[in-house]
């Protein structure tokens, strides 16, 4: 069972390239996600089977060769259909690093959430193969990733998602920033509402419309991101669970699996 588990979940990380992380799922018939988001930009390639990709209010059926894209903090879920097998690879890239690659001040969200361009799928597949290959060194992998992302916007048609911010969006961003900064603490909805300047009921509705998650779900999501960073440092799972604000290790493990579709122990292993 241990060997099968390792084949099911493979994570790639390189201490010399902290702005990148990748994962590979070879048989994902039992790999299910709840609604979640990432602080990073995420791009994935379906390599086999068929699955359901939900992002915002849209639902897509994706199959081998489909490239899926998720902007930072964009809620989504991707799950097998009827328990059938599927396989995929995901790459997570720091938004600040991507902005530097494109030579702009701030990361510009990508407009499409998926692409069925076979050339893009081949280029992304080659990048994944290089990242998971233990032979090439960090500089070569970094250069390949930079080259891929430098041409990604053009490959997608050159568009950016329209995220014009008004006063309400600024208020919601204040709430999100407050939750992120204090995610491991016990937060009251009233305190988050006060920071945002919105009523509690209006905050919940508007926050979910903008981020795809309620303030509480957003906090749990941020706790999982905190936990992932601490696990990467090699800290014991039970310590990470408590520091992340969970009642115990079991509670942390259940939430972690819903968000990451892997256990903390599987996430800590690489290869």
Query: Tokens standing for 48?
Result: 């086999």
Fold category of 167-268 in CATH: Arc Repressor Mutant, subunit A (1.10.10)
**pLDDT tens-digit profile of 89-114?**
999 999 999 999 999 999 999 988 99
Q: What is the CATH number of domain 2-155?
A: 2.60.120.10
Can you give the pTM of this predicted structure?
0.87
Cα 19 to Cα 96: distance, rounded to the nearest angstrom: 9
In the chain, where are the structural domains located? 2-155, 167-268
Q: Would you say the CATH fold of 167-268 matches that of 2-155?
A: no
- Do residues 213 and 221 touch, judged by C-beta distance below 8 A? yes
pLDDT tens for each residue of 227-255: 999 999 999 999 999 999 999 999 999 99
Bridge partners (DSSP) listed for residue 90: 23, 44
| Helix runs in 34-181, H state only | 95-102, 118-132, 138-150, 152-155, 167-181
């Amino acid at each position: 069972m241990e060997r099968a588990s390792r084949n099911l979940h493979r994570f790639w990380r390189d201490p010399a390239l902290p702005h990148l992380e990748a994962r590979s799922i070879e048989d994902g018939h039992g790999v299910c996600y709840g609604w979640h988001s990432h602080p990073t930009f995420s791009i994935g390639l379906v390599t086999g089977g068929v699955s359901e990709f939900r992002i915002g209010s849209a639902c897509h059926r994706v199959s081998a060769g489909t490239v899926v894209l998720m902007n930072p903090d964009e809620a989504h879920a991707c799950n097998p259909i009827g328990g059938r097998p599927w396989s995929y690879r995901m790459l997570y890239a720091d938004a600040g690093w991507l902005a530097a690659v494109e030579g702009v001040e701030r990361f510009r969200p990508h407009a499409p959430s998926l692409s069925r361009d076979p050339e893009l799928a081949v280029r992304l597949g080659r990048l994944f193969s290089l990242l998971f290959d233990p032979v090439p060194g960090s500089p070569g992998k970094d250069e390949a990733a930079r080259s891929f992302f430098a041409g990604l916007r053009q490959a997608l048609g050159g568009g950016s998602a329209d995220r014009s911010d008004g006063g309400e969006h600024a208020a919601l961003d204040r709430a999100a920033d407050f939750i992120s900064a204090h995610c491991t603490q016990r937060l009251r909805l009233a305190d988050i509402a006060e920071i945002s300047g919105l009523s509690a009921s209006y905050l919940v509705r508007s926050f979910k419309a903008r981020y795809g998650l309620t303030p509480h779900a957003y906090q749990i999501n941020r706790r999982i991101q905190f936990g992932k960073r601490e696990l990467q440092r090699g800290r014991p799972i039970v310590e990470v669970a408590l520091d992340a604000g969970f009642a115990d290790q079991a509670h942390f493990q259940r939430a972690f699996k819903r968000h990451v579709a892997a256990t903390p122990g599987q996430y800590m292993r690489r290869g």
